[in-house]
Structure 1
Amino acid sequence: MSALSGWRAAIRIARRDALRAKGRSALVVAMIALPVLGVTAADITYHSASLTTAEKLSAELGSADALFRDPSMGGGPIEQMPEMDPYQPVDQDSTGTKPDSAVDLAAVLPPGAKSITQQYMNATVTTKYGIKNTALTELKTADPLVRGMIELVNGRFPKTDSEMVANEAFLKSSGLHIGSQTTVRGAGRTFTITGSVELPADLKHDYLYVNPGALIAPWKQAAAKDRTMEEPQAGTVDLLVKTAGSTGVSWKDVLAANKKGVLVESRRVFLDPPPLSEVPMASHGSYQAPGKGMKVTAALATVVAMAMLEIVLLAGPAFAVGARRSRRQLGLVGTCGGNRRHIRAVVLSGGLVLGAAGAVAGTIVGLGLTYLLRPLIESWAGQRFGTIELHSGELLGIAVIGLVTGVLAALAPAIVAGRQPILESLTGRRGVRRSSRVMPVLGLIAIGVGLCMAVLGGLSGRATSVSVGSVIAELGVLACIPVIVGSLGKLGRFFPLSPRLALRDAARNRGRTAPAVAAVMAAVAGTIAISTYTASTQAEQDYGRHSSVPKGVVSINADTYGERADPARALALARKVAERDLPVKGAPATINRVWAGSDCNHFPDADTSNCGALDLVRPAANNCPLLAAGGKTLAAKLSADEHKKLVNSPKCKDAEYPDTMFGNDGEIVVGDAAVLRVYAGMKDPAAEKALAAGVPVLLNNAYADADGKATVKALHSYIAEDKQNRKLHPGKARSTVTRLAVYKAADRYAATPGIRMVMPQATADRLGLHYGPTLNVYATTQTPTDAQVQHFNGGVSQAGNGVSLQQNDTSSGTTDITMLILALFSGVVTLGAAAITTGLAKADAEADLTTLSAIGAPPRVRRTLSGFQCAVVAGTGVLLGTAAGVVPAIAVRLTDMHRALANMRLHPMDSAYTPIVLPWQTIGILALAVPVLAGLLAGVFVRSRLVLARRAG
């Protein structure tokens, strides 16, 4: 018999065996198909969400051929790249003869071209809850040129100047609907919403559209007549252009428009860009073409390697049980002259047949689910797909990987089946074999080697070492699982009957239990690795995100700009509204802006060159060493933790980009102990006592000199328009430098946003400074919702536009949701793996369960035994998977740290903080809830009725 004929017979036997054992075969196909399904759906989603150049142009230009824009450079000649950005003036020293003049866009259009205008602005509009800020555009949305850029969902486009359309995101956040009316504040114009639209390229942000000329021009005319009326802050007018014929806007047309100071985004140029030799801007050497290709990261390589291993481990138990259930048939192959090679071929053919079925099923179902869940995926992504893109080569490669891993999953069972004596196969006896003493030793060695490779690879930034080391470490854990499972039997004496039987059964049948535990471990390890990496990167992003107010605080700011500003009245009104509409607790702390001489903000139209100035002087000895001449050399010597400590020290905190609450003179504020407690979060009786005694509290002690004093420099200068203060201070301008004894706060308070010193009123009076209430700060019980903010804005609208709300936004708020989704997903996978492997184990131990029933065990023992068997498999696998999953996540984070350290040494103030955060919520759900739920489900759904059967052997 030829080798080909032998394999043909083995495949035929495997196919018939799979059809006979439909339930077990379906489970194996499902275990192979699930990962293939996920990767297939991810591949299709990635390519469909990655828009082509033509699709991006449709989202930006609609069906227009080009967009002509005034870049506000005064009409001087400019030069641009074919993709429009970047661009720059030809003469770097001048932006045109009339910088404030607008360019006549219509004059530079190609002959016979048609165009429509669009103009953007930010507007404050009324909502169901109050008022909110949103983007508003004047654009003829009913024009065919905007199709592809804006699509009508419900209702109709505006027909008159008193109508508008809104996108779904605005309608949802504002509580309005088609037929509702909203008023644009400032203009006092009311519009009726006639339809809902969507921007395929942006589904998440708010947008409103009115017809051209419906708002901005009338608003400007009204503001010109009424000087108390605020003018609209609108951008320049853009033109969406459709050329005559089908030639589009050529690069020659773009260059002609550039000479007249017009920027052009051309569909034709985008799709067929000119050579760089014809691009003037490229000849300067300042332009660098975008790179091509993708670098494989440690995270990607590790995920791929772990996914392949997971497929093998998920399907391996099924093939092991299948080979055991078919041992009589395999024994008959031996009696008919088949050797071990033929027996191995039969089992491997089972992997080939079921692997092929799983790969095909996973690919087809993955494609179907992507089509079915497309609206939901687009909503999560925040944009519509262009088209569903199928890359046949990649999909075929994914299916082949599923097929290959199916064969690999059957490899170990095939080797075991080939070694089994024919007599044992025919009689059904398994024999008694001692566990290998070599495998645990090899496993421990593999764990050590894998950990070293992963850690060293992470420290050196080598993605291959991280992925290979992670897989080797997990394989080492797999080699130790039989010993771990064997030790479970010793715990049985501490438990009642059913759990004792489950633990001892698991220990006695290690060949069945170990693959089941390995399958669950593989499912959990991947999720723990992803969750740990996601939580860590989110913590890194939150650390690097700056907020204007501390966490747990909202700030209500009163405008001080202009002579009509009345911040005290605005804050008094806002206090009542805040305590009614916002989740605040306790009384507010009032922060007073402090200044010397005349207040420049109060007289914006006067000659402010002689206004006063106030500054908190930092001693030269306390400058940040990272910004000194040897900053790069110092950074190269620091570890990530040392660099973080130095960057967050008082000397370096905000040294590169000073953060002040009210601008240049905002380092100092006047306030009482409430400012320390509420805003700075300082619970220090000594600091409050010092403030009450007239001693300023220095939050950033880098501003104190060696004697513990702070230097305040003031210029007491008054302009003629400041008649009240000019009368009180008729003398000449004078400068004062005062060294104040201060109370130095702990180093951590240097990070308080916007404030360096809290000065008591008595000290400000003694120094001849002026101050007034500018904002109230509240402690909150929770972050205000969008509806609550709209309620508040509507309530304070009587104060005009002089009151605004600021809240902490350092966290995106997606961390907990992401972790919860990952935990739920992992829980489902773990439940499925535990249920499948426990079902296979139950089928393998059916004879034992029959014997248990025959000796008088009640039916409920069958249920509880199956439940505890499932719980033991799930619990052991979850614990091992948690430990195995943390390893690759830590190793990949080490590669991130290596990259951050390299960047830090080039840019000394850039953060090298790469935390490793364990997702305790995910771990808790998996370690506690999932095993309990798995056991309960197994106990509920298992059949407890006694089935009469004859035990063979």
Structure 2
Amino acid sequence: MSAVRVALRVARRSAWRSRGRSALIMVMIGLPVLVITALLTLAETMQVTPREGLVATLGTADVHLSQAPEGTVLQQDPTGGNWSTGDDGATAPRPGAAEVAALLGPGTRLLPFNTGMLRLGTEPVDALETDLRDPLTRGMLTLSEGRLPSAREVAVTPALGLRPGDLLRPSGAAPLTVVGVVEHPHQPSLRKVVGPDLPLAPDELWSPREYGDGWLADTAKPVSWTDVPALNAAGLFVTSRTMITDSSWSPVRDPAATVQYTVGIGAMVIMVVLVTVLLAGPAFAVGLRRRRRELAEIAAQGGSAGQLRTIVLADGLVLGAPATLVATALGIAAGVLGAPVLARWGGQAGPPGVPWPPVLCVAALGLLTGLVAALVPAVQAARQNTATVLAGRAPTAPDRRGWPLLGATLVLAGLGATVVARRQPGSVWVLSSAVLVLLGLVALTPWLVRQTGRPAARLRLPLRVAVRDAVRHRSRTASAVAAVMAVTATVVAVGIGTHSEYMDRRNAYTSARPAGMLAIWAGTINDATWKKLRAEAARQLPGVPLATGYQARNADNRRYALRYTVRWNGIRTRRTAAIGDQALLRLLQGRHDPRAAAALASGKAVVFDAAALRNGRLALRASSTSGPPRRLEVPAVLATPADEHQGGALLPRALVEQAGFSTTESQLYAMHRLPAGSRLWRDLHKVTPRVTVASEEGYRNTPDPGLWGWLVGALVLVVGGTLAATRLAAADTRPERATMAAIGAPPGTLRMVVAGQALYISGLGALVGLVAGAVTGVALSRPMTTHGAGDPATIAVPWPFVVAVVVGLPVLATAAALITRTRPPLARRPL
């Protein structure tokens, strides 16, 4: 029988005898494989490729055409399907259905296909204006209840919670009857209304795949990339069945993005291997401690050092292979089953997909990790002194003198790389630099353990015994401390980066109205209807002061919006300037400002965005959905708004009228919060269906709950790794604890020794990990929160989260160690 088969048989029998330890090792090896495989499968299943979404995009049509706004230069890139727009100043007329049919050739049939928003009171809902009864739309939406809509009827998706027979009351239009419920094949959480004649809300926003007018077309010949330039020149964005299914072109990858992707994958692989090896290594060492005598007897009977290494490495193969196989299967199942569940909360899910090349690489990585985790115990088994082990004395391993120098070099190199990486776009470079820091700290950990043993003489007896034993067995302790350190550093870094991103988004929040302001406005209505609406609003809000807002119109009575663009927190933001008087100014400022009031009375604009002013002037763009745009500059002064995150501008009526516009009342504003269940909109809707009621609630988003998911993951890894190392320490200190019990030490003292080991390992690892994670987190916050040159980074520390990781996890690990069985068996003490 070969030596390898013998080693595998010995490893199998040893694993079966120590089933608890074997299960622990398999969990430590399989958990990262399961998580990564599940994430890869989940991402693949939730990513719907153009080919997979072909029916949902086109139905049975040959092409979808979307009309770009007038004056837009449209260019689609066949190397990757990208598109870009730019305004060249020209205003070419938009083609009608007849011109589009002529461009596509004889035999073309067009079906209107318009996407936009439908306002239901204060809530905008995505809407699709098309006839679902037409064969061209077959497969885009599946009827699950009722029937398909005809004129003045709609179908809704299940997420809206409506059923056939319900009524929709869009603002400014007659009610619509719900006659059917339809489902999107890939987006179960989609909220959409579909009908052949919908009152879509006018909006300047255009996106070819989300908002805009267009057609589905059945053509006599395929529409290929060669036909796209002519259609783009006519202002039509093209999505063609032939373009999607054509395999003659492939996307051109950005070389810089490819390099970042490769570096990111490499850093992730190193981190997974590092953490898994450090976690599983102590568990393998437990087996080595228990099998020292067995291996020594094999060596005494003629076993070579290589054969001893093979026996221990076989443990990694015997335990790593089934752990990897089971974890891979569970990960694939979790990814496939989890995609539809997550899609109901948002996103999309396609047919089940498994990215086999990366999944198989992860499985191979898990198997390799098992062998690497067993490598250090295997080397120790080959070097152990047979006579020392057979005599019952614990072997000692000398320190490696070059490791502290190597560790310090790697840490300094990693810190230098981090300083450079934080200036680069993308966070992958910072994370890659952090890997160098962690590798250096792993090499420094044995030296740190030895240094922390010096002040142990000042501790109480149980802690003193625990620390001195940990220092004496540095090879076992350093592995566990390094594992806790790596996990803590990763979680703290991600926590700081994620929280900084959240705070940056919160700081980026802005509105043109202060929190608590109620706004009421209507569409195109006559003066008599407006007077009735205003009177009804005053009746519904007794005692609430109402300020009036105005609307600009040109000589042809077309509505115009006066807008400007400003950078807020590094992001370009477009605002609409309000038109009003002193009453509205007091609401926007929350107080009376004599300087701003005087400027408004003198015919100047009052601006709340400092970056929008240039030499005392405000540049505005007057735009309309039915008229040519205009550009104008007006005198302005800067003022302080009511809220910190408030922007916007207020224009006096006289200034707008000097620019050639007329002004009419169209809005009402009040500082008033509507109570729950308010019927204000319903009562105003009886006056005119074109009314809209909006209330500014301020920033409403909550911190990312996934941050605490990282805490749960850290809890499993830190506590699991600490308890594995504590069990190893308990096995090593069994003779010492037996001596302490023999001389009268109570059980509480023995438990405190074991708990002291857990506190020492988790506490030291958490403190070192805090320092490393804080450095990486601060560096990570820059690429995650900056939006261009000159934009300062946002750095925010989630203190409750950090305290829970750095303090809570060691306390929890210590508490878990306190309930570990510590009653020592009778032991023979060597003389």
TM-score where L is the length of structure 2: 0.77
| 2:296/2:390 contact within 8 Å kept | yes
Paired residue for 1:238? 215
Counterpart CA distance in 1 for 2:707 and 2:420 is 28
| 1:321/1:840 contact within 8 Å kept | yes
Paired residue for 1:122? 117
Describe the SS at the equivalent of 1:521: helix
Q: Deviations over 1:331-350 (max 9, x none)?
A: 12321233434333333333
| 1:520/1:834 contact within 8 Å kept | yes
Q: Deviations over 1:523-573 (max 9, x none)?
A: 2222223333333344455555654345x4545243596652887875786
Among 175, 178, 196, the alignment partner of 1:189 is 175
| 1:248/1:267 contact within 8 Å kept | no
Counterpart CA distance in 2 for 1:546 and 1:164 is 35
Describe the SS at the equivalent of 2:118: strand
Among 388, 398, 423, the alignment partner of 1:424 is 388
Counterpart CA distance in 2 for 1:704 and 1:894 is 28
| 2:519/2:693 contact within 8 Å kept | yes
Paired residue for 2:42? 45
The AA in structure 2 aligned to 1:477 is L
How far apart are residue 313 of structure 1 and its match?
A: 1.4
Paired residue for 1:313? 278
1:438–1:252: structure 2 CA closer, same or farther, 3 Å change rule?
A: closer
| 1:165/1:209 contact within 8 Å kept | yes
How far apart are residue 112 of structure 1 and its match?
A: 8.3
Among 141, 150, 170, the alignment partner of 2:160 is 170
Describe the SS at the equivalent of 1:383: coil
**Superposition pairs of residues 89-100 of structure 1, within 5 angstroms:** 95=92
**Superposition pairs of residues 262-273 of structure 1, within 5 angstroms:** 265-272=239-246
Counterpart CA distance in 2 for 1:289 and 1:482 is 48
How far apart are residue 31 of structure 1 and its match?
A: 0.8
| 1:525/1:883 contact within 8 Å kept | yes
**Superposition pairs of residues 295-694 of structure 1, within 5 angstroms:** 295-297=259-261, 301-379=266-344, 382-385=347-350, 387-431=351-395, 439-459=403-423, 469-486=433-450, 502-503=466-467, 505-541=469-505, 546-549=510-513, 552-559=515-522, 563-564=526-527, 593=549, 600-601=552-553, 605-606=556-557, 659-662=575-578, 666=579, 670-671=582-583, 674-675=586-587, 678=590
The AA in structure 2 aligned to 1:670 is Q
How far apart are residue 55 of structure 1 and its match?
A: 0.8
How far apart are residue 866 of structure 1 and its match?
A: 4.7
How far apart are residue 923 of structure 1 and its match?
A: 1.3
Counterpart CA distance in 2 for 1:591 and 1:838 is 70
Counterpart CA distance in 2 for 1:563 and 1:361 is 71
Q: Say what the alpha-carbon RMSD is for the aligned residues.
A: 5.6
Counterpart CA distance in 1 for 2:664 and 2:225 is 60
Counterpart CA distance in 1 for 2:720 and 2:468 is 23
Counterpart CA distance in 1 for 2:439 and 2:326 is 28
Counterpart CA distance in 1 for 2:235 and 2:692 is 39
Instruction: Say if 2:637 is the partner of 1:776.
Output: no
Paired residue for 1:877? 765
The AA in structure 1 aligned to 2:330 is V
The AA in structure 1 aligned to 2:519 is I
Per mean C-alpha deviation after superposition, the further-off stretch among 451-460 and 30-39 is 451-460
Counterpart CA distance in 1 for 2:438 and 2:416 is 13
How far apart are residue 378 of structure 1 and its match?
A: 2.9
How far apart are residue 323 of structure 1 and its match?
A: 1.8
How far apart are residue 60 of structure 1 and its match?
A: 0.7
The AA in structure 1 aligned to 2:56 is A
Per mean C-alpha deviation after superposition, the further-off stretch among 17-26 and 136-145 is 136-145
| 2:589/2:640 contact within 8 Å kept | no
Paired residue for 1:933? 812
How far apart are residue 66 of structure 1 and its match?
A: 1.9
Describe the SS at the equivalent of 1:53: coil
Instruction: Say if 2:68 is the partner of 1:103.
Output: no
Describe the SS at the equivalent of 1:816: coil
Paired residue for 1:27? 24
1:866–1:80: structure 2 CA closer, same or farther, 3 Å change rule?
A: closer
How far apart are residue 160 of structure 1 and its match?
A: 6.8
How far apart are residue 34 of structure 1 and its match?
A: 1.0
The AA in structure 1 aligned to 2:128 is T
User: Which ranges of structure 1 fall in alignment gaps of 5 or more residues?
Assistant: 220-233, 277-287, 580-586, 617-623, 628-646, 714-736, 905-910
Describe the SS at the equivalent of 2:794: coil
**Superposition pairs of residues 729-878 of structure 1, within 5 angstroms:** 752-755=646-649, 774-776=667-669, 778=671, 793-794=681-682, 796-798=684-686, 800=688, 801-805=690-694, 807=696, 813=701, 815-850=703-738, 852-853=740-741, 855-859=743-747, 866-867=754-755, 869-878=757-766
Per mean C-alpha deviation after superposition, the further-off stretch among 389-398 and 295-304 is 295-304
Paired residue for 1:66? 62
| 1:558/1:775 contact within 8 Å kept | yes
The AA in structure 1 aligned to 2:242 is R
Per mean C-alpha deviation after superposition, the further-off stretch among 313-322 and 848-857 is 848-857
Counterpart CA distance in 1 for 2:574 and 2:715 is 47
How far apart are residue 167 of structure 1 and its match?
A: 1.7
Per mean C-alpha deviation after superposition, the further-off stretch among 693-702 and 914-923 is 693-702
Describe the SS at the equivalent of 2:417: helix
How far apart are residue 692 of structure 1 and its match?
A: 14
Count of matched residue positions in the alignment of Structure 1 and Structure 2: 794
| 2:309/2:379 contact within 8 Å kept | yes
How far apart are residue 497 of structure 1 and its match?
A: 6.8
| 1:313/1:519 contact within 8 Å kept | yes
How far apart are residue 52 of structure 1 and its match?
A: 2.8
Paired residue for 2:53? 56
Counterpart CA distance in 2 for 1:464 and 1:131 is 41
Identity %: 27
Counterpart CA distance in 2 for 1:207 and 1:930 is 45
Paired residue for 2:192? 207
Counterpart CA distance in 2 for 1:131 and 1:658 is 21
| 1:673/1:691 contact within 8 Å kept | no
How far apart are residue 272 of structure 1 and its match?
A: 2.0
Counterpart CA distance in 2 for 1:143 and 1:672 is 50
Describe the SS at the equivalent of 2:649: coil
Among 152, 157, 168, the alignment partner of 2:147 is 157
Q: Deviations over 1:836-882 (max 9, x none)?
A: 44344444445555555555555555556555544443333333223
How far apart are residue 202 of structure 1 and its match?
A: 3.6
TM-score where L is the length of structure 1: 0.68
1:590–1:69: structure 2 CA closer, same or farther, 3 Å change rule?
A: same
Paired residue for 2:14? 17
| 1:523/1:833 contact within 8 Å kept | no
Describe the SS at the equivalent of 2:98: coil
Paired residue for 2:796? 917
How far apart are residue 93 of structure 1 and its match?
A: 6.2
Describe the SS at the equivalent of 1:548: coil
